[in-house]
A and B are shown apart, each in its own frame.
Chain A
Amino acid sequence: MALLEIANLTVDFATATGSLRAVDGIDLEIDEGEIVAIVGESGSGKSVGMLALMGLLPWTSTVSADRMFFDGQDLLRMNNRERRKIIGKDISMIFQEPMTSLNPCLTVGYQITEVLSHHFGGKRRNYNDRAIELLKQVGIAAAESRLNSYPHQLSGGMCQRVMIAMMIACQPKLLIADEPTTALDVTIQAQILDLLIELQKIHRMALILITHDMSVVAETAERVVVLYAGQQVEQQNVRELFNKPRHPYSEALLNALPERAQGNLLNAIPGVVPGQTDRPQGCLFSPRCSYVKEICIQESPIAKDEILCHFPLKPSKSNKSIAIDMGSQ
Protein backbone atom coordinates (compact mmCIF):
# COMPACT_ATOMS: atom_id res chain seq x y z
CA MET A 1 0.00 0.00 0.00
CA ALA A 2 1.29 3.42 -0.90
CA LEU A 3 2.33 5.83 1.83
CA LEU A 4 0.27 8.63 0.35
CA GLU A 5 -2.80 8.16 -1.82
CA ILE A 6 -4.59 11.15 -3.28
CA ALA A 7 -7.39 10.77 -5.80
CA ASN A 8 -9.29 13.64 -7.38
CA LEU A 9 -8.30 16.29 -4.87
CA THR A 10 -10.23 19.50 -5.43
CA VAL A 11 -9.99 22.78 -3.54
CA ASP A 12 -12.43 25.69 -3.94
CA PHE A 13 -12.14 29.13 -2.39
CA ALA A 14 -15.11 31.32 -1.58
CA THR A 15 -14.35 34.85 -2.70
CA ALA A 16 -16.26 38.11 -2.95
CA THR A 17 -16.58 37.54 -6.67
CA GLY A 18 -17.70 33.92 -6.56
CA SER A 19 -16.09 30.54 -6.11
CA LEU A 20 -12.53 30.01 -7.31
CA ARG A 21 -11.33 26.50 -8.10
CA ALA A 22 -7.67 26.50 -7.20
CA VAL A 23 -7.07 22.76 -7.48
CA ASP A 24 -9.04 20.60 -9.90
CA GLY A 25 -8.66 16.86 -9.60
CA ILE A 26 -5.12 15.94 -8.58
CA ASP A 27 -4.12 12.28 -8.36
CA LEU A 28 -0.95 11.26 -6.67
CA GLU A 29 0.49 8.14 -5.09
CA ILE A 30 3.77 8.10 -3.25
CA ASP A 31 5.63 5.19 -1.71
CA GLU A 32 8.06 5.31 1.15
CA GLY A 33 11.34 6.91 0.29
CA GLU A 34 10.25 8.27 -3.06
CA ILE A 35 11.06 11.73 -4.33
CA VAL A 36 8.36 13.43 -6.37
CA ALA A 37 8.43 16.93 -7.79
CA ILE A 38 5.31 19.01 -8.38
CA VAL A 39 5.91 21.61 -11.04
CA GLY A 40 3.88 24.54 -12.24
CA GLU A 41 3.70 28.30 -12.62
CA SER A 42 2.29 30.63 -9.97
CA GLY A 43 -1.42 30.03 -9.76
CA SER A 44 -1.13 26.39 -10.77
CA GLY A 45 -2.36 25.24 -7.39
CA LYS A 46 0.76 23.32 -6.48
CA SER A 47 1.07 24.73 -2.98
CA VAL A 48 -2.65 24.78 -2.32
CA GLY A 49 -2.98 21.07 -2.90
CA MET A 50 -0.32 20.21 -0.35
CA LEU A 51 -1.63 22.76 2.15
CA ALA A 52 -5.01 21.06 1.83
CA LEU A 53 -3.35 17.79 2.71
CA MET A 54 -1.91 19.31 5.87
CA GLY A 55 -5.14 21.07 6.79
CA LEU A 56 -3.50 24.47 6.64
CA LEU A 57 -5.93 26.24 4.35
CA PRO A 58 -8.02 29.24 5.53
CA TRP A 59 -11.66 28.98 6.49
CA THR A 60 -12.83 30.17 3.08
CA SER A 61 -11.67 26.93 1.45
CA THR A 62 -13.56 23.75 0.68
CA VAL A 63 -11.50 20.58 0.25
CA SER A 64 -12.93 17.49 -1.41
CA ALA A 65 -11.41 14.29 -2.77
CA ASP A 66 -12.30 10.74 -3.66
CA ARG A 67 -9.43 9.52 -1.56
CA MET A 68 -6.91 11.22 0.67
CA PHE A 69 -5.06 8.62 2.67
CA PHE A 70 -1.78 8.81 4.48
CA ASP A 71 -0.27 5.69 5.95
CA GLY A 72 -3.68 4.06 5.88
CA GLN A 73 -5.43 6.93 7.66
CA ASP A 74 -8.21 8.94 6.04
CA LEU A 75 -7.02 12.55 6.10
CA LEU A 76 -10.25 13.87 4.67
CA ARG A 77 -12.54 12.57 7.36
CA MET A 78 -10.16 13.06 10.23
CA ASN A 79 -11.04 15.64 12.84
CA ASN A 80 -8.65 18.39 13.81
CA ARG A 81 -7.33 16.78 16.95
CA GLU A 82 -6.37 13.57 15.18
CA ARG A 83 -4.78 15.46 12.34
CA ARG A 84 -2.68 17.47 14.75
CA LYS A 85 -1.16 14.24 16.01
CA ILE A 86 0.16 13.44 12.56
CA ILE A 87 1.31 16.71 11.10
CA GLY A 88 4.65 17.90 12.28
CA LYS A 89 5.38 14.30 13.22
CA ASP A 90 4.65 11.91 10.35
CA ILE A 91 4.00 14.49 7.66
CA SER A 92 5.94 17.73 7.73
CA MET A 93 6.10 20.76 5.50
CA ILE A 94 8.70 23.44 5.00
CA PHE A 95 7.82 26.75 3.40
CA GLN A 96 9.07 29.22 0.91
CA GLU A 97 9.93 32.26 3.03
CA PRO A 98 12.12 31.08 5.87
CA MET A 99 12.65 34.53 7.36
CA THR A 100 8.95 35.15 7.97
CA SER A 101 8.09 31.55 8.69
CA LEU A 102 9.82 31.55 12.04
CA ASN A 103 8.27 33.30 15.02
CA PRO A 104 10.24 36.52 15.63
CA CYS A 105 9.52 36.54 19.34
CA LEU A 106 10.77 33.03 20.15
CA THR A 107 14.28 31.61 20.09
CA VAL A 108 15.39 28.99 17.60
CA GLY A 109 15.85 26.46 20.37
CA TYR A 110 12.34 27.06 21.67
CA GLN A 111 10.79 26.53 18.28
CA ILE A 112 12.63 23.25 17.72
CA THR A 113 12.14 21.75 21.16
CA GLU A 114 8.49 22.81 21.06
CA VAL A 115 7.58 20.38 18.28
CA LEU A 116 9.42 17.58 20.05
CA SER A 117 7.76 18.11 23.39
CA HIS A 118 4.38 18.48 21.73
CA HIS A 119 4.54 15.13 19.95
CA PHE A 120 6.61 13.11 22.39
CA GLY A 121 5.65 14.69 25.71
CA GLY A 122 7.81 15.97 28.51
CA LYS A 123 9.45 19.29 29.11
CA ARG A 124 11.05 21.23 26.31
CA ARG A 125 14.27 21.42 28.23
CA ASN A 126 14.76 17.68 27.89
CA TYR A 127 15.04 18.03 24.17
CA ASN A 128 17.78 20.62 24.10
CA ASP A 129 20.43 18.05 23.26
CA ARG A 130 18.35 16.64 20.47
CA ALA A 131 17.84 20.19 19.13
CA ILE A 132 21.60 20.75 19.08
CA GLU A 133 22.05 17.47 17.27
CA LEU A 134 19.45 18.49 14.69
CA LEU A 135 21.07 21.87 14.13
CA LYS A 136 24.36 20.14 13.49
CA GLN A 137 22.69 17.74 11.11
CA VAL A 138 21.38 20.61 9.00
CA GLY A 139 24.81 22.15 8.89
CA ILE A 140 24.61 25.02 11.36
CA ALA A 141 27.90 25.81 13.01
CA ALA A 142 28.14 26.65 16.71
CA ALA A 143 24.86 24.88 17.33
CA GLU A 144 24.89 25.24 21.12
CA SER A 145 24.98 29.01 21.02
CA ARG A 146 22.49 29.16 18.16
CA LEU A 147 19.81 27.68 20.39
CA ASN A 148 19.30 31.07 21.98
CA SER A 149 19.32 33.09 18.79
CA TYR A 150 16.29 34.87 17.46
CA PRO A 151 15.28 34.49 13.82
CA HIS A 152 16.07 38.08 12.97
CA GLN A 153 19.66 37.40 13.93
CA LEU A 154 20.01 34.68 11.29
CA SER A 155 20.46 34.82 7.52
CA GLY A 156 17.89 33.45 5.08
CA GLY A 157 19.80 30.28 4.45
CA MET A 158 20.25 29.61 8.15
CA CYS A 159 16.56 30.23 8.79
CA GLN A 160 15.69 27.66 6.21
CA ARG A 161 18.08 25.19 7.81
CA VAL A 162 16.42 25.83 11.17
CA MET A 163 13.03 25.23 9.63
CA ILE A 164 14.24 21.96 8.13
CA ALA A 165 15.66 20.93 11.49
CA MET A 166 12.35 21.77 13.13
CA MET A 167 10.33 19.78 10.64
CA ILE A 168 12.44 16.63 10.53
CA ALA A 169 12.85 16.59 14.29
CA CYS A 170 10.17 13.95 14.70
CA GLN A 171 11.50 11.89 11.81
CA PRO A 172 8.55 12.22 9.46
CA LYS A 173 7.72 9.66 6.84
CA LEU A 174 6.85 12.35 4.34
CA LEU A 175 8.37 15.79 3.97
CA ILE A 176 6.75 18.35 1.73
CA ALA A 177 9.07 21.14 0.64
CA ASP A 178 7.16 24.09 -0.79
CA GLU A 179 9.59 26.04 -2.96
CA PRO A 180 12.26 25.81 -0.26
CA THR A 181 14.92 27.62 -2.22
CA THR A 182 12.99 30.23 -4.19
CA ALA A 183 13.57 33.01 -1.70
CA LEU A 184 17.25 32.26 -1.20
CA ASP A 185 20.45 33.29 -2.95
CA VAL A 186 21.50 31.07 -5.80
CA THR A 187 24.60 29.85 -4.02
CA ILE A 188 22.57 28.84 -0.98
CA GLN A 189 19.93 27.15 -3.12
CA ALA A 190 22.24 24.36 -4.11
CA GLN A 191 23.34 23.81 -0.51
CA ILE A 192 19.78 23.54 0.76
CA LEU A 193 18.80 21.17 -1.99
CA ASP A 194 21.78 18.96 -1.28
CA LEU A 195 20.88 19.00 2.37
CA LEU A 196 17.33 17.91 1.63
CA ILE A 197 18.51 15.03 -0.55
CA GLU A 198 21.01 13.93 2.04
CA LEU A 199 18.46 13.97 4.83
CA GLN A 200 16.01 12.14 2.63
CA LYS A 201 18.51 9.36 2.10
CA ILE A 202 19.50 9.12 5.74
CA HIS A 203 15.98 9.08 7.14
CA ARG A 204 14.33 7.24 4.24
CA MET A 205 11.71 9.99 4.01
CA ALA A 206 9.38 10.41 1.08
CA LEU A 207 9.93 13.86 -0.32
CA ILE A 208 7.53 16.02 -2.27
CA LEU A 209 9.33 18.96 -3.81
CA ILE A 210 7.15 21.81 -5.02
CA THR A 211 8.92 24.09 -7.42
CA HIS A 212 8.65 26.13 -10.59
CA ASP A 213 12.31 25.61 -11.38
CA MET A 214 12.84 22.79 -13.86
CA SER A 215 16.55 22.54 -13.14
CA VAL A 216 15.76 21.74 -9.51
CA VAL A 217 13.46 18.99 -10.72
CA ALA A 218 16.17 17.54 -12.92
CA GLU A 219 18.62 17.36 -10.07
CA THR A 220 16.47 15.91 -7.38
CA ALA A 221 13.29 14.09 -8.37
CA GLU A 222 12.45 10.63 -9.60
CA ARG A 223 8.95 11.44 -10.70
CA VAL A 224 7.30 14.67 -11.81
CA VAL A 225 3.75 15.95 -11.69
CA VAL A 226 3.03 18.93 -13.91
CA LEU A 227 0.19 21.24 -12.93
CA TYR A 228 -1.50 23.92 -14.96
CA ALA A 229 -4.26 26.20 -13.64
CA GLY A 230 -5.08 23.75 -10.88
CA GLN A 231 -5.27 20.73 -13.15
CA GLN A 232 -2.82 17.87 -13.38
CA VAL A 233 -1.70 17.74 -16.99
CA GLU A 234 1.10 15.20 -16.88
CA GLN A 235 2.74 12.75 -14.53
CA GLN A 236 5.93 11.08 -15.60
CA ASN A 237 9.24 9.67 -14.70
CA VAL A 238 11.71 12.58 -14.71
CA ARG A 239 14.04 11.29 -17.37
CA GLU A 240 11.16 10.61 -19.73
CA LEU A 241 9.64 14.00 -19.13
CA PHE A 242 12.80 15.80 -20.07
CA ASN A 243 13.42 13.65 -23.10
CA LYS A 244 9.89 13.21 -24.34
CA PRO A 245 7.25 15.46 -22.72
CA ARG A 246 3.80 14.17 -23.67
CA HIS A 247 1.75 17.28 -22.86
CA PRO A 248 2.09 20.49 -24.88
CA TYR A 249 2.41 22.50 -21.71
CA SER A 250 5.26 20.39 -20.37
CA GLU A 251 6.98 20.73 -23.70
CA ALA A 252 6.47 24.48 -23.69
CA LEU A 253 7.81 24.68 -20.12
CA LEU A 254 10.94 22.84 -21.07
CA ASN A 255 11.38 24.93 -24.18
CA ALA A 256 11.18 28.06 -22.09
CA LEU A 257 14.29 27.09 -20.18
CA PRO A 258 17.22 29.41 -20.81
CA GLU A 259 19.32 26.47 -21.91
CA ARG A 260 16.95 25.85 -24.79
CA ALA A 261 16.81 29.42 -25.97
CA GLN A 262 17.35 29.92 -29.66
CA GLY A 263 19.86 32.62 -30.28
CA ASN A 264 19.08 35.59 -28.08
CA LEU A 265 15.38 34.95 -27.61
CA LEU A 266 13.79 32.94 -24.84
CA ASN A 267 10.92 30.70 -25.93
CA ALA A 268 8.29 32.29 -23.73
CA ILE A 269 4.80 30.82 -23.70
CA PRO A 270 2.41 33.44 -25.07
CA GLY A 271 -0.64 34.40 -23.03
CA VAL A 272 -1.36 34.13 -19.30
CA VAL A 273 -2.65 31.49 -16.91
CA PRO A 274 -6.46 31.72 -16.71
CA GLY A 275 -7.80 33.27 -13.55
CA GLN A 276 -11.23 33.20 -12.04
CA THR A 277 -13.06 35.01 -14.79
CA ASP A 278 -11.41 33.94 -18.01
CA ARG A 279 -11.45 30.18 -17.82
CA PRO A 280 -11.76 28.70 -21.32
CA GLN A 281 -14.68 26.42 -22.00
CA GLY A 282 -12.59 23.54 -23.29
CA CYS A 283 -9.02 22.71 -22.44
CA LEU A 284 -7.57 25.29 -20.07
CA PHE A 285 -4.31 25.46 -21.98
CA SER A 286 -5.99 25.85 -25.38
CA PRO A 287 -5.53 29.64 -25.71
CA ARG A 288 -1.78 29.21 -25.45
CA CYS A 289 -1.20 25.80 -27.02
CA SER A 290 0.71 25.67 -30.28
CA TYR A 291 -1.00 22.38 -31.23
CA VAL A 292 -4.51 23.59 -30.56
CA LYS A 293 -7.38 22.05 -32.60
CA GLU A 294 -11.10 22.87 -32.79
CA ILE A 295 -12.09 20.20 -30.27
CA CYS A 296 -9.62 21.55 -27.71
CA ILE A 297 -11.51 24.85 -27.54
CA GLN A 298 -14.91 23.17 -27.29
CA GLU A 299 -14.40 20.25 -24.92
CA SER A 300 -12.36 19.62 -21.80
CA PRO A 301 -9.96 16.75 -22.25
CA ILE A 302 -10.12 13.57 -20.19
CA ALA A 303 -6.92 12.15 -18.76
CA LYS A 304 -5.41 9.18 -20.55
CA ASP A 305 -2.35 7.54 -19.01
CA GLU A 306 -1.86 10.51 -16.73
CA ILE A 307 -1.85 12.97 -19.63
CA LEU A 308 -4.65 15.55 -19.75
CA CYS A 309 -4.76 16.27 -23.47
CA HIS A 310 -6.92 15.49 -26.49
CA PHE A 311 -3.83 14.86 -28.55
CA PRO A 312 -0.91 13.84 -26.34
CA LEU A 313 2.40 14.37 -28.07
CA LYS A 314 3.78 11.23 -29.67
CA PRO A 315 6.85 9.86 -27.91
CA SER A 316 8.91 10.30 -31.03
CA LYS A 317 8.40 14.05 -31.14
CA SER A 318 10.13 16.97 -29.38
CA ASN A 319 13.76 16.09 -29.52
CA LYS A 320 14.70 19.40 -30.98
CA SER A 321 16.60 20.44 -27.87
CA ILE A 322 19.54 19.56 -25.75
CA ALA A 323 18.76 17.06 -23.04
CA ILE A 324 19.56 18.31 -19.58
CA ASP A 325 22.36 16.63 -17.76
CA MET A 326 20.80 14.39 -15.17
CA GLY A 327 23.80 14.34 -12.94
CA SER A 328 23.94 11.38 -10.61
CA GLN A 329 20.73 9.96 -12.02
Chain B
Amino acid sequence: MSNSSTSSRSALSQQWQEFWFYYSTNKTAVAGLIFLFAVVFMAIFADIISPHEPAEQYRQFAKLPPAWMDGGQMQFFLGTDYAGRDMWSRIIHGSRLSLIAGSIVVILSLSIGVLLGLISGYIGGWLEALIMRVMDTIMAVPGLLLALVLVAVLGPGLLNAMIAIAITYTPSFVRLTRASTLAEMNRDYVVASKMTGASPIRLMFVSILPNCMAPIIVQGTLSFSTAILDTAALGFLGMGAQAPTPEWGTLIAENRDLILNAPWTVTFPGIAILLAVLAINLVGDGLRDALDPKLKRS
Protein backbone atom coordinates (compact mmCIF):
# COMPACT_ATOMS: atom_id res chain seq x y z
CA MET B 1 0.00 0.00 0.00
CA SER B 2 2.71 2.47 0.92
CA ASN B 3 4.38 1.71 -2.37
CA SER B 4 1.40 2.92 -4.32
CA SER B 5 1.11 6.12 -2.33
CA THR B 6 4.77 6.98 -2.71
CA SER B 7 4.60 6.16 -6.39
CA SER B 8 1.50 8.30 -6.81
CA ARG B 9 3.20 11.09 -4.91
CA SER B 10 6.26 10.87 -7.10
CA ALA B 11 4.06 10.71 -10.17
CA LEU B 12 2.44 13.93 -9.02
CA SER B 13 5.76 15.63 -8.41
CA GLN B 14 6.94 14.43 -11.80
CA GLN B 15 3.86 15.97 -13.39
CA TRP B 16 4.55 19.14 -11.48
CA GLN B 17 8.14 19.22 -12.68
CA GLU B 18 7.11 18.62 -16.26
CA PHE B 19 4.51 21.36 -16.00
CA TRP B 20 7.01 23.80 -14.55
CA PHE B 21 9.53 22.90 -17.27
CA TYR B 22 7.10 23.94 -19.97
CA TYR B 23 5.77 26.91 -18.07
CA SER B 24 9.19 28.38 -17.35
CA THR B 25 10.17 28.48 -21.01
CA ASN B 26 7.60 31.23 -21.42
CA LYS B 27 9.43 34.26 -20.07
CA THR B 28 6.48 36.62 -20.11
CA ALA B 29 4.39 34.11 -18.19
CA VAL B 30 7.07 33.90 -15.54
CA ALA B 31 7.28 37.69 -15.41
CA GLY B 32 3.52 37.80 -14.94
CA LEU B 33 3.77 35.30 -12.14
CA ILE B 34 6.44 37.34 -10.38
CA PHE B 35 4.38 40.50 -10.69
CA LEU B 36 1.35 38.65 -9.39
CA PHE B 37 3.29 37.55 -6.34
CA ALA B 38 4.31 41.16 -5.86
CA VAL B 39 0.67 42.25 -5.91
CA VAL B 40 -0.32 39.51 -3.48
CA PHE B 41 2.52 40.58 -1.22
CA MET B 42 1.32 44.15 -1.49
CA ALA B 43 -2.19 43.12 -0.59
CA ILE B 44 -1.18 41.06 2.41
CA PHE B 45 1.20 43.61 3.85
CA ALA B 46 -0.77 46.65 2.80
CA ASP B 47 -0.91 48.07 6.29
CA ILE B 48 2.83 47.87 6.67
CA ILE B 49 3.80 49.02 3.21
CA SER B 50 1.57 51.99 2.65
CA PRO B 51 3.10 55.28 3.82
CA HIS B 52 -0.24 56.66 4.99
CA GLU B 53 -3.64 55.53 6.11
CA PRO B 54 -5.83 55.20 3.03
CA ALA B 55 -8.68 57.07 4.67
CA GLU B 56 -6.55 59.78 6.23
CA GLN B 57 -7.36 63.16 4.77
CA TYR B 58 -4.70 65.82 4.52
CA ARG B 59 -6.94 68.71 3.64
CA GLN B 60 -4.10 71.12 3.09
CA PHE B 61 -2.49 68.78 0.57
CA ALA B 62 -5.60 68.10 -1.52
CA LYS B 63 -5.18 67.55 -5.26
CA LEU B 64 -1.42 67.42 -5.08
CA PRO B 65 0.27 66.19 -8.27
CA PRO B 66 2.68 63.20 -8.26
CA ALA B 67 6.15 63.68 -6.80
CA TRP B 68 7.91 64.12 -10.14
CA MET B 69 5.68 66.95 -11.28
CA ASP B 70 5.67 70.62 -10.24
CA GLY B 71 4.26 71.04 -6.79
CA GLY B 72 4.47 67.37 -5.95
CA GLN B 73 5.98 66.00 -2.77
CA MET B 74 7.85 62.78 -2.04
CA GLN B 75 5.64 61.91 0.90
CA PHE B 76 2.65 61.74 -1.43
CA PHE B 77 4.37 59.84 -4.19
CA LEU B 78 1.48 59.53 -6.59
CA GLY B 79 -0.27 62.66 -5.51
CA THR B 80 -3.47 63.10 -3.54
CA ASP B 81 -7.14 63.08 -4.39
CA TYR B 82 -9.84 65.69 -3.88
CA ALA B 83 -9.95 65.09 -0.14
CA GLY B 84 -6.19 65.06 0.32
CA ARG B 85 -5.85 61.28 0.68
CA ASP B 86 -2.61 59.70 -0.52
CA MET B 87 -3.20 57.97 -3.87
CA TRP B 88 -0.41 55.44 -3.48
CA SER B 89 -1.72 54.24 -0.10
CA ARG B 90 -5.23 53.98 -1.44
CA ILE B 91 -4.07 52.02 -4.43
CA ILE B 92 -2.11 49.61 -2.24
CA HIS B 93 -5.15 48.95 -0.11
CA GLY B 94 -7.25 48.64 -3.21
CA SER B 95 -5.16 45.69 -4.30
CA ARG B 96 -6.46 43.78 -1.33
CA LEU B 97 -10.02 44.36 -2.41
CA SER B 98 -9.41 43.45 -6.04
CA LEU B 99 -7.62 40.23 -5.17
CA ILE B 100 -10.27 39.21 -2.67
CA ALA B 101 -13.02 40.04 -5.14
CA GLY B 102 -11.32 38.04 -7.89
CA SER B 103 -10.73 35.08 -5.60
CA ILE B 104 -14.27 34.92 -4.25
CA VAL B 105 -15.79 35.27 -7.69
CA VAL B 106 -13.66 32.47 -9.11
CA ILE B 107 -14.18 30.20 -6.11
CA LEU B 108 -17.92 30.63 -6.24
CA SER B 109 -18.40 30.37 -10.00
CA LEU B 110 -15.87 27.58 -10.41
CA SER B 111 -17.19 25.34 -7.68
CA ILE B 112 -20.85 25.77 -8.59
CA GLY B 113 -20.13 25.68 -12.32
CA VAL B 114 -17.96 22.59 -12.24
CA LEU B 115 -20.44 20.77 -10.02
CA LEU B 116 -23.34 21.60 -12.32
CA GLY B 117 -21.26 20.70 -15.35
CA LEU B 118 -20.29 17.33 -13.94
CA ILE B 119 -23.85 16.55 -12.97
CA SER B 120 -25.35 17.59 -16.27
CA GLY B 121 -22.72 15.75 -18.27
CA TYR B 122 -22.87 12.63 -16.19
CA ILE B 123 -26.56 12.29 -15.52
CA GLY B 124 -27.87 13.78 -18.71
CA GLY B 125 -31.56 13.64 -19.48
CA TRP B 126 -33.97 16.32 -18.39
CA LEU B 127 -31.64 17.52 -15.63
CA GLU B 128 -28.96 18.29 -18.16
CA ALA B 129 -31.45 20.02 -20.43
CA LEU B 130 -32.73 22.12 -17.56
CA ILE B 131 -29.30 23.15 -16.35
CA MET B 132 -28.13 24.02 -19.86
CA ARG B 133 -31.22 26.09 -20.64
CA VAL B 134 -30.77 28.02 -17.40
CA MET B 135 -27.15 28.63 -18.34
CA ASP B 136 -28.19 29.72 -21.83
CA THR B 137 -30.58 32.20 -20.28
CA ILE B 138 -27.86 33.65 -18.08
CA MET B 139 -25.60 33.92 -21.11
CA ALA B 140 -28.29 35.63 -23.17
CA VAL B 141 -27.91 38.75 -21.06
CA PRO B 142 -24.56 40.55 -21.21
CA GLY B 143 -22.59 39.90 -18.03
CA LEU B 144 -22.25 43.45 -16.84
CA LEU B 145 -25.95 44.15 -17.34
CA LEU B 146 -27.00 41.08 -15.45
CA ALA B 147 -24.59 41.93 -12.66
CA LEU B 148 -26.01 45.44 -12.52
CA VAL B 149 -29.57 44.17 -12.31
CA LEU B 150 -28.62 41.68 -9.64
CA VAL B 151 -26.87 44.35 -7.64
CA ALA B 152 -29.96 46.54 -8.03
CA VAL B 153 -31.91 43.72 -6.45
CA LEU B 154 -29.41 42.87 -3.75
CA GLY B 155 -28.29 46.38 -3.04
CA PRO B 156 -24.96 48.04 -3.90
CA GLY B 157 -21.75 46.98 -2.20
CA LEU B 158 -18.65 44.91 -2.87
CA LEU B 159 -20.02 41.62 -1.55
CA ASN B 160 -23.17 41.80 -3.62
CA ALA B 161 -21.13 42.80 -6.64
CA MET B 162 -19.00 39.69 -6.18
CA ILE B 163 -22.02 37.42 -5.91
CA ALA B 164 -23.62 39.00 -8.97
CA ILE B 165 -20.46 38.67 -11.06
CA ALA B 166 -19.95 35.09 -9.90
CA ILE B 167 -23.41 34.21 -11.16
CA THR B 168 -22.60 35.62 -14.60
CA TYR B 169 -19.40 33.56 -14.82
CA THR B 170 -20.95 30.26 -13.80
CA PRO B 171 -22.26 29.28 -17.26
CA SER B 172 -18.79 29.17 -18.83
CA PHE B 173 -17.59 26.71 -16.22
CA VAL B 174 -20.71 24.63 -16.60
CA ARG B 175 -20.28 24.42 -20.37
CA LEU B 176 -16.60 23.66 -20.14
CA THR B 177 -16.98 20.96 -17.54
CA ARG B 178 -19.95 19.42 -19.28
CA ALA B 179 -18.09 19.23 -22.58
CA SER B 180 -15.08 17.62 -20.92
CA THR B 181 -17.30 15.25 -18.96
CA LEU B 182 -19.14 14.14 -22.07
CA ALA B 183 -15.84 13.54 -23.84
CA GLU B 184 -14.47 11.52 -20.94
CA MET B 185 -17.63 9.51 -20.40
CA ASN B 186 -17.02 7.41 -23.46
CA ARG B 187 -13.49 6.58 -22.54
CA ASP B 188 -12.72 3.04 -21.62
CA TYR B 189 -11.49 3.76 -18.14
CA VAL B 190 -14.83 5.27 -17.17
CA VAL B 191 -16.76 2.33 -18.57
CA ALA B 192 -14.39 0.00 -16.74
CA SER B 193 -14.85 1.88 -13.48
CA LYS B 194 -18.59 1.75 -13.87
CA MET B 195 -18.49 -1.96 -14.41
CA THR B 196 -16.51 -2.52 -11.23
CA GLY B 197 -19.32 -0.85 -9.37
CA ALA B 198 -17.87 2.56 -8.61
CA SER B 199 -20.42 4.99 -7.24
CA PRO B 200 -21.42 7.99 -9.37
CA ILE B 201 -19.79 10.43 -6.97
CA ARG B 202 -16.54 8.55 -7.05
CA LEU B 203 -16.70 8.33 -10.80
CA MET B 204 -17.38 12.01 -11.20
CA PHE B 205 -14.83 13.37 -8.80
CA VAL B 206 -12.10 10.80 -8.81
CA SER B 207 -12.15 9.46 -12.35
CA ILE B 208 -13.52 12.14 -14.60
CA LEU B 209 -12.78 15.45 -12.95
CA PRO B 210 -8.98 15.23 -12.82
CA ASN B 211 -8.90 14.83 -16.58
CA CYS B 212 -10.91 17.97 -17.17
CA MET B 213 -8.76 20.11 -14.93
CA ALA B 214 -6.60 21.75 -17.57
CA PRO B 215 -9.26 23.85 -19.34
CA ILE B 216 -10.92 24.56 -16.00
CA ILE B 217 -7.71 25.94 -14.55
CA VAL B 218 -7.14 28.11 -17.59
CA GLN B 219 -10.71 29.40 -17.54
CA GLY B 220 -10.39 30.02 -13.81
CA THR B 221 -7.34 32.18 -14.29
CA LEU B 222 -8.94 34.21 -17.05
CA SER B 223 -12.11 34.59 -14.98
CA PHE B 224 -9.97 35.93 -12.16
CA SER B 225 -8.72 38.74 -14.35
CA THR B 226 -12.13 39.49 -15.82
CA ALA B 227 -13.58 39.53 -12.31
CA ILE B 228 -11.19 42.27 -11.31
CA LEU B 229 -12.23 44.26 -14.38
CA ASP B 230 -15.93 43.73 -13.74
CA THR B 231 -15.62 44.58 -10.06
CA ALA B 232 -13.88 47.79 -11.05
CA ALA B 233 -16.59 48.50 -13.62
CA LEU B 234 -19.31 48.08 -11.05
CA GLY B 235 -17.34 50.22 -8.66
CA PHE B 236 -16.99 52.84 -11.35
CA LEU B 237 -20.72 52.85 -11.97
CA GLY B 238 -21.35 53.24 -8.30
CA MET B 239 -22.92 49.85 -7.89
CA GLY B 240 -19.96 48.01 -6.46
CA ALA B 241 -17.73 48.96 -3.61
CA GLN B 242 -18.99 52.22 -2.21
CA ALA B 243 -16.84 55.28 -1.50
CA PRO B 244 -14.70 55.75 0.55
CA THR B 245 -13.66 52.12 0.11
CA PRO B 246 -10.46 52.36 -1.96
CA GLU B 247 -11.50 49.84 -4.60
CA TRP B 248 -9.71 50.75 -7.80
CA GLY B 249 -12.84 51.30 -9.87
CA THR B 250 -14.46 53.32 -7.13
CA LEU B 251 -11.31 55.44 -6.93
CA ILE B 252 -11.69 56.35 -10.57
CA ALA B 253 -15.37 57.15 -10.11
CA GLU B 254 -14.94 59.44 -7.15
CA ASN B 255 -12.20 61.40 -8.88
CA ARG B 256 -13.90 61.65 -12.21
CA ASP B 257 -14.73 65.33 -11.77
CA LEU B 258 -11.04 66.03 -11.41
CA ILE B 259 -10.27 64.71 -14.85
CA LEU B 260 -9.42 68.19 -16.10
CA ASN B 261 -7.46 69.53 -13.16
CA ALA B 262 -5.95 66.47 -11.59
CA PRO B 263 -5.90 63.71 -14.22
CA TRP B 264 -3.44 61.63 -12.21
CA THR B 265 -6.14 60.77 -9.68
CA VAL B 266 -7.92 58.93 -12.45
CA THR B 267 -4.89 57.62 -14.31
CA PHE B 268 -3.05 55.74 -11.59
CA PRO B 269 -5.84 53.52 -10.28
CA GLY B 270 -6.48 52.52 -13.89
CA ILE B 271 -2.83 51.66 -14.40
CA ALA B 272 -3.02 49.51 -11.28
CA ILE B 273 -5.99 47.63 -12.71
CA LEU B 274 -4.25 47.26 -16.05
CA LEU B 275 -1.03 45.87 -14.59
CA ALA B 276 -2.77 43.44 -12.26
CA VAL B 277 -5.06 42.12 -14.99
CA LEU B 278 -2.18 41.96 -17.47
CA ALA B 279 -0.10 39.91 -15.05
CA ILE B 280 -2.94 37.46 -14.46
CA ASN B 281 -3.63 37.16 -18.19
CA LEU B 282 0.04 36.43 -18.83
CA VAL B 283 -0.04 33.74 -16.20
CA GLY B 284 -3.25 32.35 -17.70
CA ASP B 285 -1.73 32.24 -21.17
CA GLY B 286 1.35 30.55 -19.80
CA LEU B 287 -0.81 27.99 -18.03
CA ARG B 288 -2.74 27.29 -21.20
CA ASP B 289 0.42 26.75 -23.23
CA ALA B 290 1.98 24.57 -20.56
CA LEU B 291 -1.09 22.45 -19.91
CA ASP B 292 -2.40 21.88 -23.41
CA PRO B 293 -0.55 18.92 -24.90
CA LYS B 294 -1.55 19.83 -28.44
CA LEU B 295 0.19 23.14 -28.18
CA LYS B 296 3.39 21.68 -26.84
CA ARG B 297 5.92 23.05 -29.25
CA SER B 298 7.71 20.35 -31.15
Contact = CB atoms under 8 A, between A and B. Distances in A.
Secondary structure at the B interface, as helix, strand, loop or mixed, is loop
B4 interface: no
A13 B22 CA distance: 19
Nearest to B298: A15
A105 interface: no
B94 to A, nearest CB: 39
B293 to A, nearest CB: 13
A265 interface: no
B8 interface: no
Contacts of A13: 298
A47 to B, nearest CB: 15
Interface string B61-92: 00000000000000000000000000000000
Interface residues of A, number: 3
Contacts of B297: 15-16
B294 interface: no
B25 interface: yes
B296 interface: yes
Interface in B269-298: 296-298
A16 B297 CA distance: 6
Interface string B7-22: 0000000000000001
A10 to B, nearest CB: 19
A21 to B, nearest CB: 15
Interface in B15-64: 22, 25
A12 to B, nearest CB: 13
A308 to B, nearest CB: 27
Contacts of A16: 22, 25, 296-298
A299 to B, nearest CB: 31
A234 B64 CA distance: 82
Interface in A203-259: none
A15 B297 CA distance: 7
Interface of B: 22, 25, 296-298
Interface of A: 13, 15-16
8 contacts: A13-B298, A15-B297, A15-B298, A16-B22, A16-B25, A16-B296, A16-B297, A16-B298
